[in-house]
Structure 1
């Protein structure tokens, strides 16, 4: 009978024990009890996933199927078919490219933070990690992230896309927050958006944006109360190419958990995306949820700028980047409250890359993960030619935000040694002159300059260089690229919020 079960798994792929039992009853005329016994005594070639399913079912698979694409697709289907919290969690990761910040899991996974008769988000994550389905990784600038085990051998390739998505979603959440405040949808001083340290919550659930609302359809009145009880505006955001009907299921599951609670105010619900499948759009509409898109909240120019920004930030090794495109992004997205300073930080390295490309470097890489025995660090820009290799740290700050001594100390003590070790292990770089540079569109504090000068004096095996706004401007002007010079002057040097005191 083990051969029959093995043949079933070979033909249909990994399956629930309940599905196999039904097959044995229908095709081999076994009683349900006998079928269950045969499955429990199956040979060692048949593996069992240590994760709970309804009615004590187990997920069975062959050794050679473990970790394969069919394993993951069949597992997700089995979990979703049984309305498992684990299925919603895996779906939420899949919809976000397979990786997300750990802190965002309680927003995205579909489970409440803590609620009776529900698995908590922490429990779901812990069990998925114990079953080796989800793993953790530290991402520079983000912190601890979680990812689906399927991607273990290529997780580094998924990180740039995640970072791009997170950056653009944060910009939009700021814009949505401002929009809702101005229209009076939400209490002005109590609305909150997610960040790495803390997520907005309504009762037992976490959201990308949430806050109390005193719109008349949402408020309620308690007997003898002098003030109305507010309702809530809640929304999640997912900026992928298209959100599918499966992609909204964790959101709906979380909303169902919230709506099952008593004494929680009414909710006005939004889901924000670039676009939806027809099924997803209609499903949200039928449930009274607003399926908002970037085009409906912002104008077409802004929506186009969002797409172009995502494309740029997702690309690690750019061949070339028209400075006019950077200019367009600043002009289209700069109208979002607080976006200009964030864009300056994100796009400064692209400006530097173009300046270096126009001067004398052919090979330019951005945001490369440099992995050594001592650790992993991300290099903002790497430039190389036949004689030298340069690692450039880029800080696109305004003049009101100088580079501090602690930032310089971290660069010198933590990053530069990793970059140098990485270069020394690289066949094409190890014999080249090594230069490590720190560029900023702002200034360096006096303490930071002192540390940099000391490092320059004491370093013999490689070169330390630092450039403030004036030096950077000189470098960009010397490139002779008129479009690049204009972009830097308009959005970094002469921007009205970037004036020297």
Structure 2
């Protein structure tokens, strides 16, 4: 089972982004997170997990130059081994807050720290410094907090997808009650499913989720990577009704070339490289033609794609995997009609 703490972070980012938007205190489309690009968002001299400008009072203020936005900056300590903020951890965050305040004296900033729990003294220290110290249970309710605990167990391999698919589905419903279906939660669940089942098709090996590749100043991320003795499979996972054309372009023109370039100088055992695009729903006919042309023009590399029924047929080779796939990836979400317009 793949184990990746950064994968656990991403659904939490979706929740916190939804929380900030629902409060109405930040610019809706200007939220930046540490997963949006190569560089973490910065306010003052420090990097933060999430930042967003605010144009509402009392954070924003007018000057002779016009409206000066304030900022909301968030960090969180919600990983596998960071269940509680101690006094020492609170002191470290407070120093970060104080130094940021001193460097941005002309700008109002709201500081937010998310955690599963806070030691009482740590909580009091943070509040006295003006930090908004919030637990997941307080912000989103106990059901969401419990769902994140289950997600942590799934990713660490202590809660089996195969044995507990209903718990996984309930977790998705609980988290979507906050972030909505427009978030990426179902995409993460599909990645988790693929990471747990890919060895059934390509053999056993080391599985990674959200593996990052950096080469010559360029950056790409692979959803699921399986490395066996002789082969490396890089799978792009898309749990959508219809895949936007832009995503097809990104895969063909950015991700595949960057990852190939990386392995040209980082593949000492000369393993075979295989690129796969798996889409639970549909692909536009024009994009199918583009993908076929891409395969035809790149015969030196192994690229292939599966979508909709062809992906169903692939999983059907292993009946147990197929049954789990149909249960975890709900048919009413997976199956969508191709619209008569382009995205």
Task: Return the TM-score normalized by structure 2.
Answer: 0.69
Q: Distance in 1 between matches of 2:211 and 2:175?
A: 28
Report what 1:476 is aligned to: 315
- Aligned-pair distance for 1:187? 5.5
Structural RMSD (CA): 4.7
The higher relative CO (CA closer than 8 Å, separation ≥ 6) is in: 2
Report what 1:352 is aligned to: 194
Q: 2:138 aligns with which of 271, 278, 296?
A: 296
5+ unaligned residues in a row in structure 1: which ranges? 1-156
Report what 2:259 is aligned to: 415
Q: Does 1:172 align with 2:11?
A: no
- Aligned-pair distance for 1:250? 3.8
SS for the counterpart of 1:335 is helix
Cα distance change of structure 1 residues 360 and 492 upon mapping to structure 2, 3 Å threshold: farther
Q: 1:382 aligns with which of 226, 242, 249?
A: 226
Post-superposition Cα deviations, 1:316-338, rounded to whole Å, max 9, x if no partner, equal x8995334344233212122335
Q: How many residues align?
A: 316
SS for the counterpart of 2:319 is coil
SS for the counterpart of 1:332 is helix
Report what 2:327 is aligned to: 486
Q: Does 1:213 align with 2:66?
A: no
What are the within-5 Å matches in structure 2 for residues 18-33 of structure 1? Answer: none
SS for the counterpart of 2:251 is helix
SS for the counterpart of 2:20 is helix
Report what 1:500 is aligned to: 338
Residues 20 and 26 in structure 2, CA contact (< 8 A), matched pair in contact too? no
More strand by share: 2
Larger deviation, residues 398-407 vs 257-266 = 257-266
SS for the counterpart of 2:311 is helix
Report what 2:93 is aligned to: 251
Q: Does 1:454 align with 2:307?
A: no
Q: Does 1:401 align with 2:244?
A: yes
- Aligned-pair distance for 1:177? 1.0
- Aligned-pair distance for 1:174? 0.9
Q: Distance in 1 between matches of 2:91 and 2:181?
A: 31
5+ unaligned residues in a row in structure 2: which ranges? none
Q: Distance in 2 between matches of 1:318 and 1:489?
A: 23
Residues 333 and 339 in structure 1, CA contact (< 8 A), matched pair in contact too? no
Report what 1:64 is aligned to: none
Q: 2:4 aligns with which of 135, 160, 165?
A: 160
Residues 370 and 422 in structure 1, CA contact (< 8 A), matched pair in contact too? no
Cα distance change of structure 1 residues 477 and 486 upon mapping to structure 2, 3 Å threshold: farther
Post-superposition Cα deviations, 1:392-443, rounded to whole Å, max 9, x if no partner, equal 41231521424424522445544357669877718xxx6xx87553323352
Report what 2:75 is aligned to: 236
- Aligned-pair distance for 1:451? 0.6
